[in-house]
Amino acid sequence: MTTAELVPKRPPSPGYLGNDIALIDLLDRLLYGGVVIHGEITLGVADIDLVKLDLRVLVASIDKLLES
Partner 1 sequence: MTLLLYAIAEATVAEPHRGEPQPRGLADEPLSTLPSGDLAAFVSDVETVPEATPRKFLAYEQVIERLMSRGTVLPARFGTTAETEHEIKAMLAERQLEFLEALSRVKGAVEFAIRVPPPPDPTQDQPDSGTEYMNRLMDQSRQTTELAKQVEGAAQGLTISTRRTARSLACLVSRQQASEFLARTRARGLTVTGPWPPYSFVAR
- Least gap, CB of 16 to partner 1 (angstroms): 8
* Measured distance CA(21)–CA(53) in Å, rounded: 13
| Cβ 58 vs Cβ 27: under 8 Å | yes
Question: Residue 50 gets which letter from DSSP?
Answer: H
Instruction: Tell me which residues touch partner 1 (CB under 8 A).
Output: 2-4, 6-7, 9, 12, 17, 19, 21-37, 40-42, 45-52, 55-56, 59, 61-62, 64-65, 68
* Measured distance CA(33)–CA(64) in Å, rounded: 24
